[in-house]
Amino acid sequence: MSGSKPRDLIGDIHRQQRRRVLRRAAVVTALAIALLVLGIALKLLQETRHRDQVIEAARANFASGTATDLQAAAEQLEAGLDEHPGDPWLLGSLALARAQQRAEFGEAVDEARAAAAELTGTDTHDGALALAMLALDEGRLDAAGTALTTASALEDTRSIAPDHEQWVAWMLAVVDPYADVAAAIEQLSASLDQDASVSSRRLLA
């Protein structure tokens, strides 16, 4: 077959080498991307665990319920926000701790208002409870009732005060002339098995 062209062996070798280089580069790139994604996932997991530890510690202080304990809870949450700025769960929990200080002990009035102002754009159980308590303290009963309904519908596994809406409902019933106080007391009493807060027990003492 005299008309056939001779194979370009050197060219074939170069093309094979280029394919190997490209495959190796693709593998290295894929590995680098996988490591980057893994690193980001681990960082997010670590941040989530730390955030949850902060909330758990603050929950214990909130449940103890003294003025000193509530202040400690607020300080723990503020420290958590230094590590996780803008975290909606921590913002909501801080607002609730400050609102409880204001409602029960008349303390942290300015801090409670400032913490509530930071809740814009968040949607958490504790944040809604804090807004309900502040509205109640300011005599805005309709707004308090709306915020309380919102809180009751939100997930509370990352709350410093799960079931604390019964405490707020009782406080609202006391000042609302149309509320059923007896029903509120019954609901608060029934919630004590789930609500570890001393604040609820103080109301029924």
pLDDT of residue 116: 97
Residue 153 φ/ψ region, left for φ over 0, alpha for ψ in the -120 to 50 degree band, beta for the rest? alpha
**Residue 8: what pLDDT?**
66
For the record, the structure tokens of 190 come out as: 């029934």
Gap between the Cα atoms of 191 and 205, Å rounded: 15
- pLDDT at residue number 194: 62
Containing 157, the helix (H) or strand (E) segment is: none
Q: Which of 134, 133, 132, 141 is nearest to 176 (CA)?
A: 141
Q: What is the pLDDT of residue 1?
A: 47
Q: Chunked in runs of 10, what are the mean pLDDT values of the chain (205 residues)?
A: 59 75 82 78 76 96 94 97 96 98 94 96 96 94 94 92 87 76 68 62 59
What is the pLDDT, as a whole number, of residue 179?
66
Q: DSSP code of 191? A: T
pLDDT at 32: 80
